[in-house]
């Protein structure tokens, strides 16, 4: 994502790495932002429709965000180390079609990836393009747990 707009190829898949959701961090996130019994307490979760302690859907999104930024920073730092120019990233207008397909249980390891599905030159922002990724989270059994489509502005390569 620190590549310039012109460098991105539709269909390209970026591996964003993985994250294991511990019971403790599931509870900490839930206490702050999603205090429902099945995110806070093992016994209450066992008696819920989920059957076991599981992460807030927003927590699984927040970890995607962190891994994405870690990847962006890694690519940027490599470019800087090589003395290459670095593209500016603009704001994200939002995303669409977020699906929480399966629960993420305590101990699950989710692997995240992003596939570029669309790119277009911005009509409203000269010098910028809008890139759209389909983002995916898959658990250790190979089951899709999270997917959504997100757009963000990315700088075009200066002429």
Is 4 one of the binding residues for its own copies (CB under 8 A)?
A: no
- Beta carbons of 54 and 45 less than 8 angstroms apart: yes
Rounded-to-integer distance, Cα 109 and Cα 19, Å: 5
DSSP state of 6: G
Joined together, the tokens standing for residue 134 give 């389909």
**Least Å distance between CB 34 and its own copies?**
5
Rounded-to-integer distance, Cα 69 and Cα 86, Å: 15
Interface stretch with its own copies, choices 3-11, 30-38, 113-121, 131-139 (CB under 8 A): 30-38
Joined together, the tokens standing for residue 17 give 């790495």
Using CB under 8 A as the binding rule, the residues of this chain from 40 to 99 that contact its own copies are 49-50, 56-58, 61-63, 65-66, 69-70, 73, 88, 90-99
**Least Å distance between CB 38 and its own copies?**
9
Member of 6, 17, 18, 34 binding its own copies (CB under 8 A): 34
Using CB under 8 A as the binding rule, the residues of this chain from 100 to 129 that contact its own copies are 100, 103
Q: Which is nearer to its own copies, 99 or 120 (CB)?
A: 99
Rounded-to-integer distance, Cα 159 and Cα 85, Å: 13
């Amino acid at each position: 994502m620190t590549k310039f707009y012109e460098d991105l190829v539709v269909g390209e898949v970026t591996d964003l790495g993985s994250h294991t959701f511990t019971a403790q961090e599931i509870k900490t996130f839930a206490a702050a932002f999603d205090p429902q019994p099945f995110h806070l307490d093992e016994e209450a979760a066992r008696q819920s429709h989920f059957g076991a302690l599981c992460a807030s859907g927003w927590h699984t999104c927040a970890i995607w965000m962190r891994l994405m930024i870690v990847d962006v920073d890694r690519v940027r730092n490599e470019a800087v180390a090589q003395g290459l120019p670095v593209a500016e990233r603009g704001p994200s207008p939002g995303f669409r079609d977020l699906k929480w397909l399966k629960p993420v249980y305590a101990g699950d390891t989710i692997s995240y990836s992003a596939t570029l599905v669309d790119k277009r030159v911005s009509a409203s922002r000269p010098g910028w393009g809008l890139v759209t990724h389909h983002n995916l989270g898959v658990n250790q059994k190979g089951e899709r747990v999270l997917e959504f489509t997100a757009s963000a502005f990315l700088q075009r390569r200066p002429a």
